[in-house]
Amino acid sequence: MADNTTKKIRIRQVKSSIGTRREHREVLKSLGLRRIRHEVEREDTPAVRGMVAKVGYLLEIVEG
């Protein structure tokens, strides 16, 4: 049986990446975010949490 107990987080981009550092734009791209109000669902791993922390001023975590 597949292990479906992995925790997920929903991430929404709330600010534009225009004018941000290149590294921050690359982090958004690696998370799969493309535009404002775009939402993605990712596994809650330390790597993903680190990326979210790096560009947290552009994102919000969606509850639900």
Q: Which residues of the chain have pLDDT under 70?
A: 1-4, 64
The residue assigned the tokens 């790597």 is 47
Taking a C-beta distance cutoff of 8 angstroms, is the pair 23, 51 a contact? Answer: no
* Residue 1 three-state SS: coil
Residue 52 neighbours by CB distance under 10 Å: 19
The structural domains of the chain, with segments of one domain joined by +, span: 8-62
CB neighbour list of residue 22: distance below 8 Å, 6 or more residues apart: none
* pLDDT of 53: 97
The pTM of this model reads 0.86
* pLDDT of 63: 83
* pLDDT of 2: 59
* pLDDT of 3: 63
Q: Does domain 8-62 have CATH number 3.30.1390.20?
A: yes
